[in-house]
Amino acid sequence: MSRPRRVCCIGDVHGYISKLQNLWKNLETHIGPSDFNSAIIIFLGDYCDRGPNTREVIDFLISLPTKYPNQKHVFLSGNHDLGFAAFVGVLPEPGGGLGFKEGWKQYEQNEEREGWFKGDGYEKMHLQGRRWGGKITVKFNAAKGTEYKGSIYDAAPTFESYGVAHGSADLVKAVPDHHKKFLADMLWVHEEDEVCVETNDGIKHCKLIAVHAGLERGEKVEEQLELLKAKDTRVPKVEALSGRKNVWDIPEVII
């Protein structure tokens, strides 16, 4: 019986290239070169914003399949990455004859406070792109005890990493095509069968469902998976990518 591949899930990077590089080296040291070079590496999203190196982070991620051809790499979208992708225009069209504008209505009461983007191209932009590239009028994030960096998503450092001012439509031209492809190709959910998990009761064979925030409580799993696999952009706020209180808790296991 072949040895199961090691599965590594990596959470929010948020524009910090040195932390990502250190984590990568530590992973190889911790699990050993053999297991590391054949591992399934699942990145859980939020590659951009807050930190100063979004451009370098995405370059690092794009390089992995070439540098580590025997690994399997999965790149999931977080809510920050969804906003970035929406701003540069690489999200799938909503379909059904609807435009992204339909999704604004549900949250329009927040437009003034959040300072939604109103520059070139905003008329055809998904709600989260407008929020991501906007200029929030409240400067202090009381929930986190920090000042906002440009927008409610703290997106200013991402704009700056591409050499443009926060909130500038010039970002669309500044982001290279291979980065846009990376953003366009991100998955919203990933399933991995036969993952071995060490628990207090021994090794268990599980099906892993990886998603940035979590699946919603009280909603049918199969229906959620179907919408997430389809990347249904008719939804203005994807709870599985951004929810907190209304998503399932992570199971407690000993790894």
Distance from C-alpha of 176 to C-alpha of 171, rounded to nearest angstrom: 10
173, with CB counted inside 10 A (0-12, 13-18, 19+), is exposed
Encoded tokens for 206: 């599980």
Residue 83 has a CB neighbour count (10 Å cut-off) of 29
Q: Give the three-class secondary structure for 239.
A: helix
73 is catalytic: no
Closest of 90, 72, 161, 152 to residue 126, by C-alpha: 90
Annotated catalytic residue, options 14, 73, 80, 179: 80
Identify residue 160 by its one-letter amino acid code.
E
Q: CA 151, 157, 162 angle in degrees (round to 5)?
A: 120
- Backbone phi, then psi, for 251, in 5-degree steps? -60, 145
Mind telling me the catalytic residues? 80
